[in-house]
């Protein structure tokens, strides 16, 4: 049975460890941050995702999962070391530090496969191989160790599923690394033996695949958001347009939906990282840059639309907006780079009161000030509500941002009754989720998005 050591007890490390335990492997997580390590031992993970804590508890109690502060305390006969430290950036310092720590413990009488799950800048693996030859000239690549890059394509909220059942498995490695290929085939046997495509390629290609995948996805999102603005101007139906375009087999329906913009720290870092890589090598990635600019403009326009819908020339301080969903997607408490948060910031700057409800966030959470930006929490115009009804009470418009499944059970008739509205008028709603048809909002004035 394979013995695996995972360096990094953050989001990626926890996902990798849980999934490898699910495959029946023995896994050690190495986390150098004392607080995070203590939390892990108590099955606490800073980033919320369904079943994280229960899976950590289950595998630890069954003896498959252990937690340590130092790499030297892990398995003495480890087969695979997985690097899952933070890595989106220009230097990948944490990755290089991990390699340095690993190099000290490698031996000539035991082959070890070093797998990098961290997102790395193109060329990082080549630098690592050069550094390994310098640090350990007594070891031979391919005989005593190998460097393998396996980028992950995880959606927050669905990471365990995406790890176990990916759309494809990308493996960057040296073509003559037979020992590495044999170990990787065991490590991901469930995927390789299924019908899921496996792409074997060199390190540089695998490094770039992760960046370009995100750039394609985000450019598709921003294009349909731009087109929705055009539809509004010319009187076209965006729903019919999406169907007509998405049925083209060269395009597809996936990601063709009107949103309030893409978000998430990972996606934002990846597209900015791709542009930086292009700059390093003298390539101007205009479409990627335009995607960022379009998304920023989209977020600003939505804030302006909300303000226009409720002010009618009146003083902004008298107006209240109810926001449902602060996280950039459901099943997570991640709000970093969330368009929802940016829209809230713009509304507060305009003097409008904002009451927000999100199922994953509460004022009772001890680390809430590390999740929601402090300037928002400290604003006198902001309220983190305990329920959607508390948020909607006396509000001038309801804006549904995130597609949380919990929102399906909301009594929108009750919401309509407690909202502010003009005499003989209907309360206003803007729905940026993809969960509802118009039927729940029969008592609302549905605003254009």
In the structure encoding, which two tokens stand for residue 320, read together?
Answer: 């209240």
pLDDT per residue rounded down to tens, the chain (449 residues): 899 999 999 999 999 999 999 999 999 999 999 999 999 999 988 788 888 999 999 999 999 999 999 998 887 789 999 999 987 655 688 999 999 999 999 999 999 999 999 989 899 999 999 999 999 999 999 999 999 999 999 988 889 999 999 999 999 999 999 999 999 999 999 887 788 999 999 999 999 999 999 999 999 999 999 999 899 899 999 889 999 999 998 898 888 888 888 988 888 889 999 999 999 899 999 999 999 999 999 999 999 999 988 886 565 667 999 999 999 989 888 898 899 999 999 999 999 999 999 999 988 887 888 889 999 999 999 999 999 999 999 999 999 999 999 999 999 999 999 999 888 889 999 998 877 776 788 889 888 76
Secondary structure (3-state) at 29: strand
Dist. CA 11–CA 19, nearest whole Å: 12
CA angle 421/426/432 to nearest 5° reads 100
Burial (CB count within 10 angstroms: exposed 0-12, middle 13-18, buried 19+), residue 315:
exposed
Looking at the structure, give the CATH architecture of the domain made up of residues 3-201.
3-Layer(aba) Sandwich (3.40)
Torsion, CA 184, CA 186, CA 190, CA 191, rounded to 10: 20
User: pTM for the complete prediction?
Assistant: 0.86
Burial (CB count within 10 angstroms: exposed 0-12, middle 13-18, buried 19+), residue 90:
exposed
Q: Map out the domains of the chain as residue ranges.
A: 3-201, 217-446
217-446 CATH, one of 3.40.50.720, 3.40.640.10, 3.40.50.1000, 3.90.1150.10: 3.40.50.720
- Same CATH fold assignment for domains 3-201 and 217-446: yes
């Amino acid at each position: 049975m394979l013995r695996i050591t995972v360096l990094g007890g953050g989001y990626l490390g926890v996902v990798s460890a849980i999934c490898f335990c699910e495959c029946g492997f023995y896994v050690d997580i190495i986390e150098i941050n004392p607080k995070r390590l203590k939390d892990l031992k108590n099955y606490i993970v800073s980033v919320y995702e369904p079943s994280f804590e229960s899976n950590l508890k289950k595998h630890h109690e069954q003896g498959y999962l252990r937690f340590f502060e130092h790499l030297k305390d892990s398995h003495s006969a480890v087969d695979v070391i997985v690097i899952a430290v933070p890595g989106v950036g220009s230097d990948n310092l944490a990755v290089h530090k991990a390699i340095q720590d690993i190099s000290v413990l490698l031996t000539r009488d035991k082959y070890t496969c070093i797998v990098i799950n961290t997102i790395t800048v193109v060329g990082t693996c080549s630098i690592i191989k050069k550094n390994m030859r310098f640090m350990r000239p007594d070891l031979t690549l391919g005989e005593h160790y190998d460097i393998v890059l396996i980028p992950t394509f995880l959606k927050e909220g669905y990471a365990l599923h995406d790890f176990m059942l990916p759309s494809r498995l990308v493996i960057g490695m040296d073509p003559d690394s037979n020992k590495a290929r044999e170990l990787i085939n065991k490590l991901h046997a469930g995927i390789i033996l299924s019908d899921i495509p496996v792409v074997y390629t060199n390190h540089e290609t695998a490094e770039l695949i992760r960046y370009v995948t995100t750039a394609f996805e985000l450019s598709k999102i921003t294009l349909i958001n731009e087109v929705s603005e055009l539809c509004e101007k010319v009187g076209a139906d965006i729903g019919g347009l999406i169907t007509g375009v998405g049925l083209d087999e060269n395009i597809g329906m996936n990601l063709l939906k009107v949103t309030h913009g893409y978000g998430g720290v990972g996606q934002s870092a990846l597209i900015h990282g791709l542009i930086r890589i292009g700059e390093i090598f003298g390539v101007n990635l205009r479409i990627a840059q335009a995607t960022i600019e379009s998304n920023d403009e989209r977020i600003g326009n939505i804030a302006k639309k909300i303000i226009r819908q409720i002010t009618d020339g009146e003083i902004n301080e008298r107006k209240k907006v109810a926001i449902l969903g602060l996280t950039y997607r459901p099943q997570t408490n991640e709000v970093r780079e969330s368009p929802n948060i940016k829209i809230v910031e713009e509304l507060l700057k305009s003097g409008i009161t904002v009451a927000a409800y999100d199922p994953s966030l509460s004022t009772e959470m001890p680390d809430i000030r590390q999740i929601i930006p402090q300037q928002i929490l400290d604003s006198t115009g902001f309220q983190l509500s305990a329920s959607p009804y508390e948020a909607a009470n006396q509000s001038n418009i309801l804006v549904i941002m995130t597609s949380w499944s919990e929102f399906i059970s909301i009594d929108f008739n009750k919401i309509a009754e407690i909202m502010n509205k003009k005499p003989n008028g209907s309360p206003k709603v803007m729905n940026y989720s993809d969960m509802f048809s118009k039927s729940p909002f029969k008592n609302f004035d549905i605003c254009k998005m």
